[in-house]
Structure 1
Amino acid sequence: MAPAVADALPTAPHNLSVPTDIFPDGLKTTGQHPPLYDQIAPFDKFPKEITGKTVWKPEDYSNNPEKWTYAFSPEEIEELSTASDNFMAAKIPLTGITKNNFVLPKLGGYLAELREDLINGKGFILFKGFPVEKWGNHKCAVAYMGLGTYLGYFVSQNSRGHVLGHVKDLGEDSAQIDKVRIYRTNARQFFHSDDSDVVGLLCIARALEGGESDIASSHHVYNTLAKERPDVLKTLTEPIWYFDRKGETSQGQDEYIRTSVVYLERGENPRVYTKWDPYYVRSLSRFSDAGIIPPLSPAQHEAIQVLEDTCMRLSLHMVLEVGDIQFLSNSHVLHSRTAYKDHAPPAPRRHLMRLWLATPESEGGWKLPFWDSNEKKRGGIQVDNQRLFAHWMPSNL
């Protein structure tokens, strides 16, 4: 297949052609879809080694939290509080929040620097000191989404159009991986990336045990595999992988996507992009058993295990306390979560608010080999013309 060297944008129907009574800003989440196969590079076009700020080792940060944490100052909290109060007083729906109606005169400058570091730098940050218990869920949701508007565009996280997700154990069976989204259970999440450019997690309540975070630089993982297991790395770059859509499909779409795990950007000096979630690969036996798609080969099974083991070996452990906000780049950071056990009632269960944010290439985002690379709300999950919702209480799920 042709290497990803073309700098021209892929052509496709533009995202603005949507019903404005459903999407008032004229923008719809583009959703999941296959890559542009003619822009998938063969393995010999990939770099022998990746260098730069995106390559980091856990020892670079494990004993230096000042390099990756940011404590909100009292002045910044007050600025967030004022912006949130003004937004709520205006009676604007949460889905309508933007930088224009959530003004942060001082903090906004830092968030612009953070956005650059998320996209082109180490790819992660942990904010501390968000006053969750003082503000309550509604105001926290407003302030959190207001922060997010400075980092990217909200995209839908599921077939119901939720742009403010709630990571909480809803008692669903994690063994039914062809139907259940693992974030709605208390099961372990293996190293993966989400269907967005940036993911945010705000901790509202911690678990009794577990539920802790591990992250790894996928570029450090790439370099390690290039040295130790180039055969595994080659397997990950080939478009032989099928990803499950778990029924979150628009009319006429397949229930799965044939894709690669590791890509090159389009254009000159392309960076290495990783898109991965083992749960979505292992859940397709209903199609492979029926002969509709190929079953996973021995080489793919080995690649899945080697990738997970390598990520774990090269990971930075992170604990989210109540009031912490983690933002990660999905382009070059893989993340996981340990299994957890909740407190017994009436204590609150573990609860995180989640954001998926898009960064189109015209605004500094990566040049991805997908048709929607320059759409403002690229990625995410969109089913037909499902409108967007932002519920600040998880009971609305």
Structure 2
Amino acid sequence: MKTELKAVSNQSNQELATLANCAAAWKGDELLNSTYWNYQLTSVEVWEIEAAIRNLNHPQNIDNSDIQFNQFSKTLAKVSEELENGKGAVLLKGVPVDRYSEEEIAKVYLAMCKLMGTPIRESNSDFDSPRRNQTQFITYIRAEAADSTQEGKQSNDAFKLHTDRCDANSLLCIRQARTGGENYLASAMTIYNEMRQSHPDIAEELLKEIPFFFEGENNWTTYPLWCIHKGKFTTQYSSAYVSLSQLIPEAPRLTEKQKQGLELLQEIGLRVGIKIRLEPGDWLITNNHVIYHSRTSWPIEPGQYDRLLLRTWYTPFNSRELPDTQSFKTFWGEVEAGKPKGGFLPNHPTPPDQPITEPLSETDAYWLAKYMKGRWRGVDNIK
């Protein structure tokens, strides 16, 4: 693995220049120039969504075979191209969330995501948080407690720039808070390019594998923060899981340059990114290989200001190939282009696009229990 990463970091100036000038290496308001940023759904597309909801509600439509998206499916095919080979982020507006129940919207939302790829199990599935109102493929993002240490409950905490363990992260806004709850997006490729210019030695360190807190054996693994594979960039990062790994004595220690690099990542990201505020009916999708996202906190209120987003993770049909190395296979389960990968327990015998219905093995259950204790109450509780 070290040889491969060294080869990546010594790519030719021409190859690096190509990456620096690609569409996904945007700054701030440059994202607004995308055709599918602030794209307003047409009346035909809204009609197709509402027709799909009616079909989903029909008692004889058991397998959803009567759902038809004609014009909208063509639009979403172009959206998929923008996500994989364009700027890596899209914002669609006008999903009719105000005219239907949360359950109806959740059903059609999942059906729309399936037009672009294969939904995968989310990390907040029933094993993780049994009190949440969700399936293994849709998470209801809402604040259930003001304290993130309350096990199994979502909080209104602010999150730093990070990625999720999925190819594409999809958020549909049902309700927004009165204040707060903004999202922030930043191009990982722009951060990488900026750091290569200002701190090349530090950027080089982030091409090496760093430790992550993990639900698998020993509760830690290693993974490169940045990697370039077959001309495409990929990143994976969560400050919480990197920090938690450092509380496990057996996990590798971060180097000083890696610590500096992780601080620079946040600093540069806030400078070159863009803050957005989703409104009801807004559908935000990001490519996790090239886009970092974060959020601000918000006050917990009942009623119309009870902030609610529906989240789905999915593997696009046109998703990129990842390196065929042990660290990537441990982290993702699958590395082939277009194959469902990542999500919750990616190496479980049940494929990531199927729900886990059987009890976990004794080994999986053991390490997952330790992982959850560490995730909610700190790594000093995993022993």
TM-score range, shorter chain: 0.7 to 0.9
1:377 to 325, 337, 340: 340
* Alpha carbons of structure 1 residues 43 and 61: separation in structure 2 relative to 1, 3 Å: closer
2:100 to 135, 138, 141: 135
Work out the CA distance in 2 between the residues paired with 1:90 and 1:196.
33
8 Å CA contact retained: 1:132, 1:204: yes
Task: Provide the identity percentage.
Answer: 24
Work out the CA distance in 2 between the residues paired with 1:206 and 1:276.
26
Where does residue 23 of structure 1 map in the other structure? none
Where does residue 359 of structure 2 map in the other structure? none
Residue 242 (structure 2) pairs with residue 281 (structure 1):
yes
Work out the CA distance in 2 between the residues paired with 1:102 and 1:216.
35
8 Å CA contact retained: 2:120, 2:137: yes
8 Å CA contact retained: 1:71, 1:128: yes
Residues 42-89 of structure 1, C-alpha deviation per residue, up to 9 Å, x if partnerless? 522375432222221213245x58661111122211111112221332
8 Å CA contact retained: 1:162, 1:388: yes
Q: What displacement does 1:294 show? A: 2.8
After TM superposition, the score normalised by the length of structure 1 is 0.76
1:170 to 122, 144, 162: 144
8 Å CA contact retained: 1:199, 1:328: yes
For residues 1-397 of structure 1, the aligned pairs below 5 Å read 1=1, 4=4, 41-45=7-11, 47-49=15-17, 50=19, 51-61=21-31, 68-89=37-58, 102-158=67-123, 159-160=125-126, 162-171=136-145, 173-174=147-148, 184-239=154-209, 241-245=210-214, 248-249=215-216, 253-265=217-229, 267=230, 270-287=231-248, 291-343=249-301, 345-359=302-316, 363-369=317-323, 370-371=328-329, 372-374=334-336, 376-382=339-345, 384=348, 388=355
> What amino acid is aligned across from residue 379 of structure 1 in structure 2?
G
Work out the CA distance in 1 between the residues paired with 2:34 and 2:88.
15
Work out the CA distance in 1 between the residues paired with 2:221 and 2:158.
24
> What amino acid is aligned across from residue 189 of structure 2 in structure 1?
H
Work out the CA distance in 2 between the residues paired with 1:315 and 1:180.
31
Residues 296-336 of structure 1, C-alpha deviation per residue, up to 9 Å, x if partnerless? 33222211110000001001111100111101111111111
Q: CA RMSD in A?
A: 2.6
Q: What displacement does 1:129 show? A: 1.3
Work out the CA distance in 2 between the residues paired with 1:180 and 1:222.
35
Where does residue 25 of structure 1 map in the other structure? none
Work out the CA distance in 2 between the residues paired with 1:284 and 1:258.
10
Q: What displacement does 1:109 show? A: 0.9
* Alpha carbons of structure 1 residues 101 and 222: separation in structure 2 relative to 1, 3 Å: farther
- Structure 2 residue matching 1:170: 3-state secondary structure: coil
Q: What displacement does 1:92 show? A: 6.5
Residues 119-157 of structure 1, C-alpha deviation per residue, up to 9 Å, x if partnerless? 111111111111212112112112211210122110011
- Structure 2 residue matching 1:341: 3-state secondary structure: coil
- Structure 1 residue matching 2:91: 3-state secondary structure: strand
Unaligned residue ranges in structure 2 (runs of 5+): 127-134, 357-383
Work out the CA distance in 2 between the residues paired with 1:40 and 1:377.
28
Work out the CA distance in 1 between the residues paired with 2:252 and 2:108.
46
8 Å CA contact retained: 1:54, 1:217: yes
8 Å CA contact retained: 1:2, 1:42: no
Unaligned residue ranges in structure 1 (runs of 5+): 5-38, 390-397
Q: What displacement does 1:225 show? A: 1.0
Q: What displacement does 1:340 show? A: 1.7
